[in-house]
Amino acid sequence: VSRLRRAAALAALLSCLAPAMSAQTTFKGRPLTDALSMLRRQGLNLIFSSDLVRPEMTVEVEPAGATLQELLETLLAPHGLTAEIGPGGSLLVVERTTQPIIVSITSPTSRRTAIGTVKMSATLVSPEPVEWVEFLVDGRQHGLRRAPPYEIEVDIGTDNVVHEFEIVAYGRFGAEGRASVKTQRYVVEGRVEVALRQLPITVTLGGFAVDNLEADDFVLEDEGRREPIVTLAQADLPIRAVLLIDASESMKGQGLRAALDGVRAFLSRLGPEDTASVLLFSDRTLAVTPFSSDEQALLARIEGASAGGATALNDYLFAALEILRGIDGRPIVVLLSDGADVVSVLGIDDVRWKIKRSDALIYWIRLPGLVGLGSRFSSSWRNVDQNRREARGLEAAVRDGGGRIEDIEGIGTIEVAFDAIIEELRRQYVVGYYPSEPRYDGSWRKVEVRVRRPGARVRYRNGYFDQ
């Protein structure tokens, strides 16, 4: 700290003085004592001894600094000398001790995850002019900057791994400084060595997404205890979406065509780091694709599919969640269905069990159908009352998990609904925090989030199993 204060005082002192040397004067090759004496004559209270500034020392570099500080440094630094504030506001020429450049990385920060395009930036405090700043990720150089601002953007890929970001600054006269941060893996499951919990949060005001919120805008409570938010990102975690399309008999013809248009719209708005899998189902698998970001490849695999059969909604919703298990990024299920399960072997309670243990958000585009909550519908596997309970259970599961039900009037608005969902995902926040009293006992922990914006609505998963 004292060094920083001294440097600041020196800069202030020198900045008060008029430029000491005329542009016409040539110093290179002349004795150093001559150059310093000239500065003295021009009013600079410069004190130096003949032990340090010896007669044989010559000016090695023609001084070209815009400020007196730079000019003085140019004269002294090649000889291992520098100037410090002395008694009575004088400047003492002293032997230079090797002092590092102080590098403070402002982005990324440790404890945050880093995937895709990441901004690297730093502020520097340097005892001498900075020659260049080098940006490295995991030991590989990704860029150089010779002047402020010292920042670059770097694409580090989608691997969910720990990255080391290092920024190294080099001074004109040999000073160096470096700093590094290690970012964290995105933790998909509750089981973590570092116990970081990440929670997707959607914030809306009057039905529109609220952007540019800061960590301080959120209030998060885990089991009633307020927790500080250590990471905050808006939409920079890649999306991993399973598009789960009910292609049962009722979707034959126009219905399926409209559904595929919706899928197409969703895929076209995925970012380069996002991936999706498409699963068309009825009581059987009609088409399924692996995860890919290649829109055309995904569409090619589903476009020949035709609708037919009864609906096994619970079974395939479970399958979608299972497919997303352990995957890095932001797991999402977009379900298009009227919600009428006819033949599943799994009940909605089985699916809710899974939903509670999954990090996936479920967006349900609910088609109007014969099977609203108030209608009478039965099959050999469930009677009317059981089906009503199933439908209510699915609604609750989607909402408890922080997802959303988008009720649409008909197949004509399927595409719009898909569009609205991808737009929402693009503007969703992910906050990270460390539960201060983790128990790791498998118990359910309730989470509450508020945002300091009057009238804003917040949607998030309302808890998790502490495992």
Partner 1 sequence: VQRGVRLLVLGALGVSLLGAHDSSYSKRRFVGEYRDILRQYATGDIDGALERYVLLETQASRAADDRRYQSMQSAKQKLHRKMRRASVETLPPLTQFQERAYVAYLERHDSRLAIYARLLATELAERYAVAADTGPQRSLASGMLASLGGYAHDALQETAASRLYGQSLELDPDHVPALLGLAALNEKRGEYVAVTAYLRRLVAAGGKGLEPRLRLAVNLSRVGPSDEAKDALRRLVAEAHEDWIRSIAYQELARLLLREGSPLEARTLLARAVAELPCDPTLPIQLAYADDRAGRTSSLDLVTALASCPYRDEPAPRARYTHPPTPLFDQLRQRIAEAVATRLPTLAEALS
Question: Strand ranges (DSSP E) for 235-289?
Answer: 239-246, 275-281, 285-288
Segment 17-56, which members bind partner 1 (CB under 8 A)? none
Q: Cα 12–16–18 angle (5° rounding)?
A: 140
Q: Closer to partner 1 at the Cβ: 296 or 380?
A: 380
Q: Closer to partner 1 at the Cβ: 343 or 447?
A: 343
Q: Closer to partner 1 at the Cβ: 61 or 384?
A: 384
Compute the distance between CA of residue 94 and CA of residue 47 in angstroms, rounded to an integer.
Answer: 9
Q: According to the binding rule CB under 8 A, does residue 137 interact with partner 1? A: no
Question: Strand ranges (DSSP E) for 79-129?
Answer: 81-85, 91-95, 102-107, 117-125
Q: According to the binding rule CB under 8 A, does residue 297 interact with partner 1? A: no
Q: Closer to partner 1 at the Cβ: 73 or 315?
A: 315
Residue for token pair 């691997």: 159
Cβ atoms of 124 and 133 closer than 8 Å: yes
Q: According to the binding rule CB under 8 A, does residue 343 interact with partner 1? A: yes
From the CB of 288, what's the least distance to partner 1, in Å? 5
Burial of 135: CB neighbours in 10 Å, binned 0-12, 13-18, 19+: buried
Q: Closer to partner 1 at the Cβ: 334 or 343?
A: 343
Compute the distance between CA of residue 94 and CA of residue 86 in angstroms, rounded to an integer.
Answer: 10
The single residue among 205, 345, 373, 396 that binds partner 1, judged by CB under 8 A, is: 345
Window of 160-168, 320-328, 400-408, 456-464 that interacts with partner 1 by CB under 8 A:
320-328
The single residue among 316, 363, 364, 433 that binds partner 1, judged by CB under 8 A, is: 316
Helix (H, G, I), strand (E, B) or coil at 11: helix
Window of 90-98, 209-217, 343-351, 450-458 that interacts with partner 1 by CB under 8 A:
343-351
What Cα–Cα distance (Å) separates residue 197 from each residue in 119, 231, 411, 448? Answer: 23, 10, 38, 13
DSSP string, 331-378: EEEEEEE----SS-SS-HHHHHHHHHH---EEEEEE---S--TTS---
From the CB of 384, what's the least distance to partner 1, in Å? 7
> What would the x/- binding string for partner 1 be over residues 362 to 401, using CB under 8 A?
----------------xxxxxxxxx---------------
Compute the distance between CA of residue 397 and CA of residue 262 in angstroms, rounded to an integer.
Answer: 24
Compute the distance between CA of residue 61 and CA of residue 64 in angstroms, rounded to an integer.
Answer: 8
Compute the distance between CA of residue 102 and CA of residue 464 in angstroms, rounded to an integer.
Answer: 42
Q: Closer to partner 1 at the Cβ: 10 or 320?
A: 320
Q: Closer to partner 1 at the Cβ: 252 or 457?
A: 252
Q: According to the binding rule CB under 8 A, does residue 11 interact with partner 1? A: no
From the CB of 427, what's the least distance to partner 1, in Å? 29
Q: What are the structure tokens assigned to 189, written together? A: 């499951």
Segment 257-296, which members bind partner 1 (CB under 8 A)? 277, 279, 283-290
Q: What are the structure tokens assigned to 447, written together? A: 């989470």
Binding site for partner 1 (CB under 8 A): 277, 279, 283-290, 305, 308-310, 312, 315-316, 318-319, 322-323, 326, 342-346, 350, 353-354, 357, 378-386
